[in-house]
Amino acid sequence: MSKEKTQEESNGFPLIGDKFPEMEVNTTHGTINVPGDYEGKWFVLFSHPGDFTPVCTTEFVSFANRYDQFQEMNTELIGLSIDQVFSHLKWVEWIEEELDTEIPFPVIADNTGIVAKELGMIHPGKGSNTVRAVFVVDDKGIIRTILYYPQELGRNMDEILRIVKAAQTSDSSAAGGQGHVAIPADWPNNELLGDDVIVEPASTEEQAEENMENYECYDWWLCHRKLEE
């Protein structure tokens, strides 16, 4: 079964682990190609219901205030709504003038709704506005996380930062020869493990014994360790 058919059967939008669909979009920073122009970088593409709305304004300020932290993780931000680019430009200008916050990332003007529909950002019960969707995409163009929020609920930007950091931590452990690791709840402040990561569960008796000897374990299937520098 082809990936295209799989996505079509899943209401037409990509899933975690899929390649982010290629698209050329009009933004406040000009025309960009996603994910092509972000090759070698992670990016967070997020939609908002509309310009000049209160919750969305607080979100844009929060994203802007954390922009440097995303940059430190080789991660770009891309906003999106179905408003015209002229509306985006005036709203971004208003935020800078009235709230003393510069919006450093591009905002997609998806006034035709094509991008939002392809990514499943339009809820049929909420009119034509986009829901608050978040796509975290890695440096190979693979979708790693998808989040959806109702229109009335603003997002937690620190959680989105945590998602990027956690996914990159898991990748770097595997790439660095330290083995695959999983990330516990509320990491790096987990109630049981602190900032430890979870060792990949053993698939053989021999490996289970080795894990019990080499790592701290609650049992053979729940072993953890510190991240190596």
Provide the annotated active-site residues: 56
Residue owning tokens 């971004």: 92
- Round to whole Å and give the CA distance between 224 and 196: 6
* 147 CB-near residues (< 8 Å, 6+ apart): 133, 134, 155, 160
Tell me the two tokens of residue 178: 């330290």
* 66 CB-near residues (< 8 Å, 6+ apart): 157, 158, 161
Class of residue 219 by CB neighbours under 10 A (exposed 0-12, middle 13-18, buried 19+): exposed
